[in-house]
Chains A and B, each alone.
Chain A
Amino acid sequence: MTHMVLTVAAILFALGIYGVTTRKNAIGILVSVELMANAVNLNLVAFSQHWGATGQSFALFAIALTVAEVVVGLALVVLLYRTRKNVNIDLASDLRS
């Protein structure tokens, strides 16, 4: 059972990485990051079947951390839209030398 959950988590994580690397829309990237974070939570909860409640409380902290991060990210995406009128990150490349 644990194995299957871990596999699902690994697939979720891989999907997240795929999304992060291929998406052009900043919101899409944020969604992919969230996918990766949820893989972490799934992992932690699966491990807590073996090791007790520590994993669950770790998952709780992981959720809070991710949310704090994503909130800042969404605010940044709004700023990106305000300064450039789109959220395509490939177009935000003025800093390349």
Chain B
Amino acid sequence: MMVDLLAPLAADAILVIGALSLLLVDLILPPGEKRILGYGTIGVLLAALISTFALDLSGEAVGGAYEGDALALFFKRGFYVSAILASLASLDFGAKIWPRRQGEYFQLLLYSVLGMSLLAGVRDLLLLAVAFELMGVPLYAMAAFSRKDKLAVEGGLKLYLTGAVSSAVTLYGMSMLFGASGSTNLAEIASAPSSPMLAMGVALTLAGMGFKLGVAPFHMWVPDTYRGSPPPFVVLVAVAPKIAGIAALTRLLLAGDGALLDSVSELLLLLAWFTVIVGNVMALPQDSVRRLLGFSGVGHMGLLLLGLTTGTAEGIAAMLFYVAGYIFTTAGALLVLSAVADEDGNDGLARFAGLSQRSGFLAFAMLVFLLSLGGIPFVVGFWAKLYLFLAAWGAGYQLSVLFIALVGVIGLYYYLRVSRAMYMTEPTVEGPISVDLGTQLAIALCLVFVVGMGLVPQPFVAVAETAASVLR
């Protein structure tokens, strides 16, 4: 009975059991052998990823609070893949910087991924609140994991303060959603008669989630946390939680017949416009490449919001394809960055000067990722933008498409600035860069997917369309 009840949550169960057993192993492991825990974590994540393909995870679980459908599977795979990429980058870094505390780092990572994984198929306000918090709280601790590093602690505290305020706002919004509808079921909330309290609840919940997503005007933590935190953590925080925020928003706004989306679509569109402007304009003067990528990530969130605003099957499918592209592109760029940044985390443009002479592989990979971020043809970013714009155009958002595409052109400038530094200037730091095996593997994986999805996008688009078809 219990097993039946939880069958759709098999992947999440793997995460829970894996994380708890790794915790127990950590307790009896001598301090010198903590490295195994990183491999164990990647093993657990891989097992969860494989289970999404091998097992039947469809159906309702925990009394209808969770439903495993194609969309849930799509998001789950995204979370697991981005967590694997981040773990690969953390292996050597962790062993070097915090050798005795590797276990805790990977523990926190697994719990955070568990929260995201539950968000993927959430159907109930209560589970939404719990999963959202389960995703966020470990991230605060991970951001400040280098606890003697002033900058890391500051970045962590900024992430924490915005996160804590945003979750209080989200919970306040949720309490209003409950008050207006008398139910915690998302579909029932959507079908409740519209009232000022319901609208207020949706708006507050949206604002709270906007913090996590890094949507302007709630984006202030993004560049600071990116710059201050340990680079392998940035690979995680720049991708997985943002995708999870999109997943949660999709689940909340498109529950039932999507009445909640209709009530806030103007607001969402406004946020999308503002986010794209802030992301692209603020990226221009940045010297730290991490801050630059942070702002560029803010800009990409605006595009995802545009996809969500359409609410059509095509729009959501295009948004999902964009999400898939975003995972590999952003993770890839930040992985290269974690290899290039020096011991103190300095990652100014000067560190990238003449990168092609120091490491041809890194420079080439970064170039591909930057092209993809900028939306240049034949890498995934181009198709992602194209599909998104076509879908939004078709749904009647022509003005937004034109505007956002124009602002996106600004983005090309700062991507080209980094590329120019890598290929056309002399290196300021001499000597080849040594990259650890885990990071190399992760970069290669991202490269394969970014190029592969750029050359043959159709199968991935088909998957995204199947996933989007479960809504409405």
Whether A and B touch (Cβ < 8 Å) is answered with yes
For A55-79 the 0/1 string (1 means CB < 8 A from B) is 1011001100110111011011101
Given the known inter-chain contacts A58-B178, A79-B153, A84-B150, please indicate yes or no for A65 contacting B161, CB distance below 8 A.
Answer: no
B96 close to chain A: CB less than 8 A: no
Mark out the residues of chain A between 69 and 97 whose CB falls within 8 Å of any chain B CB in the assembled complex: 69-70, 72-73, 75-77, 79-80, 82-84, 89, 92-97
Residue of A13, A47, A77 ringed by the most chain B CB atoms within 10 A: A47
B179 at the interface (CB under 8 A from A): yes
Q: Which of B137, B175, B291 contacts A43 (CB 8 A)?
A: B175
Q: How far is the CB of B380 from chain A (nearest CB, A)?
A: 30
State whether B167 touches A50 (Cβ < 8 A): no
B141 touches A83 (CB 8 A): no
Whether B168 and A36, one on each chain, are in contact in the complex, defined by CB atoms closer than 8 angstroms, is: yes
Contacts of B150 in A (CB 8 A): 83-84, 94
User: For residue B176, which residues in chain A have a CB less than 8 angstroms away from its CB?
Assistant: 43
Residues of A within 8 A of B179 (CB): 6, 43, 46-47, 50-51, 55
For the complex, is B129 an interface residue (Cβ under 8 Å from A)? Answer: yes
Give the docked Cα–Cα distance between A94 and B153 (Å).
Answer: 11
Quick check: A39 and B227 within 8 Å, CB to CB? Answer: no
Size bracket of the A interface: 35 or more
Q: Is B171 a contact of A40 with CB atoms below 8 Å?
A: yes
Given contacts A61-B126, A62-B129, A69-B164, contact A92 B154 (CB under 8 A): yes
Determine how close the nearest CB of chain B comes to the CB of A27; give it in whole angstroms. 12
Cβ contacts under 8 Å, A95 to chain B: 151, 154-155, 158, 223-224, 227-228
Query: Nearest residue in B to A37 (C-beta to C-beta)?
Result: B168
Q: Which of A39, A70, A83, A97 contacts B172 (CB 8 A)?
A: A39
Inter-subunit contact B165/A33 (CB<8 Å): yes
Residues of B within 8 A of A39 (CB): 172
Bound-state CA distance A89–B154 (Å) is 9
20 new A-B pairs (CB below 8 Å) besides A44-B175, A73-B161, A76-B157?
A: A30-B164, A33-B165, A44-B178, A58-B126, A58-B129, A61-B130, A62-B171, A65-B171, A69-B137, A72-B140, A72-B160, A73-B140, A73-B160, A80-B154, A82-B148, A83-B153, A84-B153, A94-B151, A97-B227, A97-B287
**Which 3 pairs, one residue from A and one from B, show the smallest C-beta to C-beta distance?**
A36-B168, A47-B179, A51-B182
What are 20 A-to-B residue pairs whose CB atoms are below 8 Å? A30-B164, A33-B164, A36-B169, A46-B179, A51-B179, A55-B178, A58-B184, A61-B126, A62-B175, A65-B130, A65-B133, A69-B164, A72-B160, A76-B141, A76-B144, A76-B156, A76-B157, A80-B157, A95-B151, A97-B285
Binding site for B on A (CB under 8 A): 6, 13, 16-17, 20, 26, 29-30, 33, 36-37, 39-40, 43-44, 46-47, 50-51, 54-55, 57-58, 61-62, 65-66, 68-70, 72-73, 75-77, 79-80, 82-84, 89, 92-97
